[in-house]
Amino acid sequence: MIRYDRVTCLVTLAWLSFSGVLAQEKTATIANPLGVTANDCKACHSSHYQEWERSYHAKTMVAMHAGFKRYITTQEQAKGRALNRNELMGCVGCHAPAMRFSSDEDFARLAQLVKTDQREALAGLSVDCVACHALSASGHPEVKPPEGIDKQVYYGTIKNPVNPGHGAQYASQMEKSEFCKSCHTYVTPADMKVSADWDIVCSLTFDAWAAGPYGPKAAKADMRECQSCHMEKKDGKAAEIDGVPTRKVSSHLFPGWHDAAALRGATEIALATKAGAGGDTELIVTINNKAGHRLPDT
């Protein structure tokens, strides 16, 4: 006699086991090639970490997934082959800077994860602490930093860091809008262009700011750096460790178009009505842009 309950149980267990393998394969992430991630900074810089975690800098691969997928599929169709690491760096160079130190195999896997919509496997790739405070701020983002936090130098906007648990150095360039330029004005480099109806224009915000009312052409009293709105200073501690004083520190929320409060502060909207012909009423919407650059930014 067949024991259906036993057969059903065995089949169920086998399916659960198989499903677990599929889930494991689906969610396996690409290892960070630097060895140091934002999670390693969390213990000492918990306030900054919590702000960054809520920001779009923490979601740079996931948030732009659709555009990245379109870029890959369009380029592959035009070229008749898979994209190489240099071509993928057209997006990854800004959205996951640490990937420049990854293997060709990881780049191929990244492309496959994007094309198969496995967003959860991309969540660990972002613009994190190391991307700004080590790679970009060093002036040599192409140079891989040494392994381990204690062996790396982290740059910041505090002139006299107290009790750092790692190398720390003041970097005046991080207080200037030019620091944001490399990613926030980006158009496809000539050596990456192909004969296809496609171009990478992720952002022109820096150029729009530079030409706007708060840019370098403005009166000195009117000029505002990107950081004044997107990394507003507030009272706090740079690190939650003994001996670190309270002073003005930068917010790491990076509010922008995705932040309702930032949008309210960047725009003024006025509504008015006007009587039209034939008894119609015309609605007039006036939007005053106070952001200092175009809205939206591209």
Tens digit of each residue's pLDDT (9 = 90 or more) over 194-229: 554 455 667 789 999 999 999 999 999 999 999 999
Within a domain: residue 8?
no
Within a domain: residue 285?
yes
**Domain membership of residue 187 as a residue range:** 27-289
Give the pLDDT confidence of 144-196 residue by residue, as tens digits. Answer: 988 888 888 999 999 988 878 889 999 999 999 999 998 998 776 666 555 54
Within a domain: residue 295?
no
Within a domain: residue 232?
yes
State which residues of the chain have pLDDT below 50: 1-24, 196-197
Count of domains observed in the chain? 1
pLDDT at 81: 94
**φ, ψ at 254 (rounded to 5°):** 50, 55
Query: Residues of 190-223 as b/e, b for ≥16 C-beta within 10 angstroms?
Result: eeeeeeeeeebebbbbbbbbbebbbbeeeeeeee
pLDDT at 6: 46
Within a domain: residue 129?
yes
pLDDT at 190: 62
Within a domain: residue 1?
no
Residue ranges of alpha helices (H) inside the chain are: 4-27, 38-41, 46-54, 60-63, 65-79, 85-95, 104-115, 129-130, 178-184, 205-210, 226-230, 260-266
CA distance 202 to 181: 12
Within a domain: residue 247?
yes
Within a domain: residue 17?
no
Its pTM stands at: 0.82
